[in-house]
Amino acid sequence: RRIAVLVPGAGVGLDAYWRLRRDVRALHRELGEGAAVVAWLGYRTPATVSPAALTTGRADGAAPGLRTLVDGLRAVRPDARISLLCHSYGSVVCARSAPGTAADALVLYGSPGAGVPDAAALRTGARVWAGRSGGDWIARVPHVRVRVPFVATVGFGTDPVADRFGAETFDAGDGGHSDYLLPGSRSLANLARIAAGAEPLGASR
């Protein structure tokens, strides 16, 4: 009845499967009976410190695969609630797949930006959420988007937790960049509540 799709960000590959499995199991326990959690790694994630992590190139290539996955889940489980939980650079992937998505919720957390100026530019009917923990270093990343002639557009623009982005925000606690799905954390509790269709604690518009 509830399907959560985890979309990881930069620096997460199959060599970090243990971390993906840890996060999946924690979220599944929090969601309880009647839920499924999918860790989607349908793209080659950029290295955390690399030029590829500053542009939408990898996300552009990944978005069609994510959209296909969500469409397939909707076809198999037409009445299920589907949530995309998009961490770090994964939020750029989710943003690229957002127009017309069959997902019910799009959650951007630990995000460097989504590559769009505001939530309306995502062109989605999904409910858009954003959260960032108090100890996340990504808060220090400049939220700019600059066109470098003959090269690429660098940066991802508006901070998703900023009022002007227009997402609904939730309390993500005080953990670090990789701690959002740690058992017992406020961020895990609220991500699970969003995936279940409940209002998160400390939510605001």
pLDDT tens-digit series, residues 49-95:
777 777 888 899 999 999 999 999 999 999 999 999 999 999 999 99
Distance of alpha carbon 101 from alpha carbon 95, whole angstroms? 10
pLDDT over 80 (residue 149): no
Q: How many CB atoms lie within 10 A of CB 44?
A: 10
Name the phi and psi angles at 27, rounded to 5: -70, -40
Confidence tier at 122 by pLDDT (50, 70, 90)? very high
What CATH fold (topology level) applies to the domain 2-196? Rossmann fold (3.40.50)
Q: What is the pTM of this model?
A: 0.92
Task: Report yes or no: 93 and 116 within 8 Å, Cβ to Cβ.
Answer: no
pLDDT tens-digit series, residues 106-121:
999 999 999 999 999 9
Residue 135 has which token pair? 């100890």
Say which range, 72-81, 94-103, 147-156, has the weakest mean pLDDT: 147-156
Distance of alpha carbon 110 from alpha carbon 160, whole angstroms? 9
Q: Which residue is associated with the tokens 């699970």?
A: 192
CB-based contacts of 26: which residues, under 8 Å, 6+ apart? 181, 182, 183, 188
pLDDT, residue 120, reads 97
Identify the CA nearest to 119 among candidates 161, 79, 87.
161
DSSP code of 201? T
